[in-house]
């Protein structure tokens, strides 16, 4: 086969659109890959993306897809960003929205149609722009695998599961409006207990299925974490690989982060104290010497919000400051707001704020991730880079990236790990962290060690390159 020409597709790519880790990785991975192979990313041109700021220009290429009798016009745009080639797809149904998927904690009712349009655009782009390898991510792009195969595309397809919970399961009646054939309504294909499952279709049609950590690759083949697809994944286990995600150290670097009040690194840690003081002031948290513990993430059951909220009362009774930044389900927001009203040592910010998140990571001594399940998790890697020691549930990518502190055998990274998913175990792990806070030199050692750990995207990209080469 000729030189690889990769098209990398995702529903969100930082900085144009980001709702979580997918946005980070869908920027960082193609950016790292393009240093070795020809790589172009593709995403929807949502209405909220500033075309002028990013130099996004029309390519003059467009096409129409007719789905269930309705014609949808699709236009390709292009930009170069940070050395990377990106195609943007514009169609009014897909793009003219305030949010990527829907308001926090919700999804738009026509997301199947929106991402079917995106799927057709991806498959069209492969042929029109002569790509010979396709990398798809999560359910939003899963239908592209099915459509591409329907169109006779024979090139290798890699499909990555970033989170098995969101599979894209829809009523079988909707199939007509996606423009895929009835033959896919089959137990070895998209059919799923009488419904249609996009992720299942991509697993069936991709040459390789990856997921974002080695532990998660094992877990998703078990009923406990398989969300109904464990059997199908076991059946396809010969093409399933776990590759740990990484982070872009050009963006997440406390030595040169424009969001921070001071720079710092493993060998010059003093700036961290200044970042902490500045944030405490910004957040009106008074006790400067107390440890700052933080949580940044989606307010969802997955992220362990139930045990977090159950534990907060007792946690705030300690000499600590707690900062939470996030958005999501209203039941969690309401519960957190009530707690905020009664506690002076608690800072809560509802919403999505990239710059604030960096300031919190930099200011924090400890970072909480009590996820019920966690495919990879980037937040704990970012936290470690910024010298915040993680407290995590031993699951998925958290298990692969955070290990109990051990003086003799150092494994990247180190933190506080609890096995049993209940408040008692979670609080016990935090109380160990608070003990470490009192031993300043041990604290600094762990902090430095975590900051020096290599969770770079380059390591991850190398594994994907080997995989693409294998497919070639």
Nearer to ligand ADP, 129 or 352 (CB): 352
By the rule CB under 6 A, 24 interacts with ligand ADP? yes
| Contact between 354 and ligand ADP per CB under 6 A | yes
Element (H, E) at 85: strand 84-90
CA distance 216 to 225: 9
Query: Segment near ligand ADP (CB under 6 A), from 84-92, 128-136, 139-147, 377-385?
Result: 377-385
| CB-closest chain residue to ligand ADP | 21
Is 398 a binder of ligand ADP (CB under 6 A)?
no
**Binding status of residue 357 toward ligand ADP by CB under 6 A:** yes
Among 156, 254, 377, 413, binds ligand ADP (CB under 6 A): 377
Interaction of residue 328 with ligand ADP, rule CB under 6 A? no
CA 297 vs CA 179, 266, 368, 380: distances in Å: 36, 25, 10, 11
Does residue number 227 form part of the binding site for ligand ADP (CB under 6 A)?
Answer: no
The CA R_g of the chain, rounded to the nearest whole Å, is 22
Q: Binding marks (x or -) toward ligand ADP, 283..302, rule CB under 6 A?
A: -------------xxx----
178/295 with CB nearer ligand ADP: 295
DSSP designation for 381: H
H helices of 156-285, where? 198-205, 214-219, 223-226, 230-235, 270-282
CB of 325 to ligand ADP, least distance (A): 5
- Smallest separation, CB 370 to ligand ADP (Å): 13
Q: How far is the CB of 455 from ligand ADP (least distance, A)?
A: 12
* Phi, psi of 400, deg, nearest 5: -80, -20
How many residues in the shown chain lie near ligand ADP by CB under 6 A? Answer: 19
Q: Shortest approach of ligand ADP to residue 326 CB, angstroms?
A: 4
The answer to whether residues 329 and 304 touch, using CB atoms and an 8 Å cutoff, is no
Helix orientation angle between 111-128 and 138-150, rounded to the nearest 10 degrees? 50
Shortest Cβ 14–ligand ADP spacing (Å): 8
First to last CA, the chain: 6
**Site for ligand ADP contains 379 (CB under 6 A):** yes
How far lies 85's CA from each of 30, 134, 396, 468, in Å? 9, 15, 32, 19
| Rounded least distance, CB 18 to ligand ADP, Å | 7
141: left (phi over 0), alpha (psi -120 to 50) or beta: alpha
The answer to whether residue 326 forms part of the interface with ligand ADP (CB under 6 A) is yes
Which positions lie near ligand ADP, rule CB under 6 A? 20-22, 24, 296-298, 325-327, 352-354, 357, 376-379, 382
């Amino acid at each position: 086969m000729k030189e690889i020409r990769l098209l990398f597709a995702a529903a969100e790519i930082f900085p144009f659109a980001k709702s979580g880790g997918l946005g980070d990785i869908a920027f960082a991975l193609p950016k790292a890959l393009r240093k070795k192979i020809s790589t172009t990313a593709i995403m929807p041109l949502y209405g909220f993306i500033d075309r002028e700021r990013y130099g996004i220009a029309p390519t003059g290429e467009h096409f129409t897809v007719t789905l269930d009798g309705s014609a949808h016009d699709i236009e390709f745009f292009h930009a170069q960003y940070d050395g990377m080639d990106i195609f943007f797809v514009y169609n009014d149904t897909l793009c003219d929205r305030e949010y990527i998927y829907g308001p926090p904690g919700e999804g738009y009712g026509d997301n199947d149609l929106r991402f079917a349009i995106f799927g057709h655009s991806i498959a069209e782009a492969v042929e029109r722009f002569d790509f010979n390898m396709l990398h798809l991510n999560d359910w939003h792009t899963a239908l592209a695998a099915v459509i591409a195969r329907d169109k006779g595309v024979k090139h290798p397809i890699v499909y990555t599961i970033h989170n098995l919970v969101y599979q894209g399961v829809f009523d079988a009646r909707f199939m007509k409006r996606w423009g895929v054939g009835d033959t896919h309504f089959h137990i070895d294909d998209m059919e799923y207990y009488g419904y249609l499952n996009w992720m299942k279709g991509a697993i069936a049609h991709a040459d390789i299925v990856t997921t974002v950590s080695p532990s998660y690759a094992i877990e998703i083949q078990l009923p406990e974490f398989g969300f109904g697809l464990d059997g199908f994944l076991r059946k396809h286990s010969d093409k399933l690989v776990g590759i740990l995600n990484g982070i872009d150290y050009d963006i997440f670097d406390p030595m040169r982060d424009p969001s921070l009040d001071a720079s710092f690194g493993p060998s010059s840690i003093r700036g961290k104290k200044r970042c902490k003081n500045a944030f405490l002031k910004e957040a009106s948290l008074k006790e400067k010497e107390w440890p700052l513990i933080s949580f940044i993430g989606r307010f969802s059951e997955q992220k362990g919000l139930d045990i977090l909220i159950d534990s907060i009362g007792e946690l705030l009774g300690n000499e600590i400051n707690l900062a939470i930044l996030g958005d999501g389900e209203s039941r969690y927001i309401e519960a957190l707001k009530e707690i905020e009203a009664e506690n002076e040592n608690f800072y809560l910010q509802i919403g999505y704020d990239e710059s604030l998140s960096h300031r919190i990571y930099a200011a924090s001594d400890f970072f909480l991730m009590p996820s019920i399940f966690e495919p990879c998790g980037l937040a704990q890697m970012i936290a470690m880079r910024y010298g915040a020691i993680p407290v995590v549930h031993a699951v998925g990518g958290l298990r692969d990236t955070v290990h109990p502190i051990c003086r003799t055998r150092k494994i990247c990274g180190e933190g506080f790990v609890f096995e049993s998913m209940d408040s008692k175990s979670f609080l016990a792990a935090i109380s160990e962290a608070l003990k470490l806070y009192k031993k300043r030199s041990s604290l600094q050692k762990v902090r430095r060690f975590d900051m020096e750990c290599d969770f770079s995207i380059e390591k991850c990209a190398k594994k994907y390159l080997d995989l693409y080469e294998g497919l070639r």
